[in-house]
């Protein structure tokens, strides 16, 4: 069913669909360097047994996605789950991860991006693209554009910015193509992991980009 956002973007609300949403995100992010470091910490190696069970990745994402939906986040999918996105509307705070203790990668991520947001956004309200992914193997045109463009339009109408953290260069370039600009590059896990998020003493860390539109 169409939403107010785009005729091909369907709102996700029911538990079964939230699980589907988490499955697409887990699959899309299965090679994501920063999430690998957050998930496996200083045990982040290609032969880690946790990487053999894709169900564990879904279990990792599910509570995080559920808490964001409950907190006021908007979950959408396009073209029968070709693409999924989670937007936090202006004023909705990103709930902290409920993992105890918080992984060191997550602590550094939060601290560094909190600082960037404070520097560029101050107290302003903004639309926050928290998660987006394309289902591996799906090539439907517009699956990603239609999850981003309507929100940029809405933000523009409201006179407020949109913000996101790009976790890889491809994503950064897609966001730039759709209207976001890089504010700052942020490096996480320097000295602990390499650029791919695998443990490597003295490693360069994972590069991410804080980006905004309408600033």
155 is a contact residue toward ligand COA (CB under 6 A): no
Q: Are 31 and 46 in contact (CB under 8 A)?
A: no
CA atoms of 7 and 3, how far apart (whole Å): 6
Q: Minimum distance from CB of 141 to ligand COA (Å)?
A: 7
Which of 173, 185, 190, 204 contacts ligand COA by CB under 6 A? 173
20 is a contact residue toward ligand COA (CB under 6 A): no
CA atoms of 166 and 186, how far apart (whole Å): 10
Starting at the edge strand found earlier in the chain, the sheet holding 9-11 runs 9-11, 74-78, 83-88, 127-134, 162-166, 206-213, 181-188
Q: In the complex with ligand COA, which residue's Cβ is closer, 100 or 208? A: 208
Q: Minimum distance from CB of 150 to ligand COA (Å)?
A: 13
170 is a contact residue toward ligand COA (CB under 6 A): yes
Q: In the complex with ligand COA, which residue's Cβ is closer, 15 or 173? A: 173
- Name the DSSP letter for residue 19: H
* The pair of three-digit structure tokens given for residue 40, joined into one six-digit string: 């496996």
Q: In the complex with ligand COA, which residue's Cβ is closer, 75 or 122? A: 75
- Phi/psi for 61 (5° steps) reads -80, -30
Q: 79 to 138, contacts with ligand COA by CB under 6 A?
A: 132-134
Q: Minimum distance from CB of 133 to ligand COA (Å)?
A: 4
Count of residues in contact with ligand COA, rule CB under 6 A: 17
Q: Are 104 and 43 in contact (CB under 8 A)?
A: no
Q: Minimum distance from CB of 87 to ligand COA (Å)?
A: 13
Q: Minimum distance from CB of 100 to ligand COA (Å)?
A: 25
Whether a cis peptide bond, with omega within 30° of 0, leads into 101 is yes
* The pair of three-digit structure tokens given for residue 106, joined into one six-digit string: 């997550």
Q: Minimum distance from CB of 28 to ligand COA (Å)?
A: 4
Name the one residue in this structure whose structure tokens are 């991520």.
Answer: 109
Positions that interact with ligand COA (CB under 6 A): 28-29, 32, 132-134, 143-145, 166-168, 170-171, 173-174, 177
């Amino acid at each position: 069913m169409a939403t107010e956002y785009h005729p091909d973007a369907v709102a996700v609300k029911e538990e079964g669909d939230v699980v589907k949403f988490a499955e697409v995100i887990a699959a899309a992010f299965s090679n994501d360097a920063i999430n690998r470091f957050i998930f496996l910490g200083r045990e982040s190696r290609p032969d880690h047994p946790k990487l053999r069970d894709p169900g564990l990745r879904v279990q990792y994402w599910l509570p995080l996605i559920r808490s964001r939906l409950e907190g006021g986040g908007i979950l959408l999918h396009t073209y029968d789950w070709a693409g999924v996105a989670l937007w936090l509307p202006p004023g909705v705070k990103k709930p902290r991860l409920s993992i105890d203790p918080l992984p060191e990668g997550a602590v550094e991520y939060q601290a560094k991006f909190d600082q960037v947001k404070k520097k560029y956004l101050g107290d302003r309200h903004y639309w926050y693209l928290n998660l987006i992914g394309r289902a591996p193997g799906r090539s439907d045109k517009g699956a990603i554009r239609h999850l981003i463009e309507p929100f940029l339009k809405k933000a523009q109408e409201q006179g407020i910015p949109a913000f996101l953290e790009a976790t890889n260069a491809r994503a950064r370039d897609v966001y730039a193509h759709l209207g976001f600009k890089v504010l700052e590059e942020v490096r996480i896990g320097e000295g602990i992991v390499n650029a791919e998020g695998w443990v490597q003493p003295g490693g360069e860390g994972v590069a991410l980009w804080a980006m905004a539109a309408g600033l």
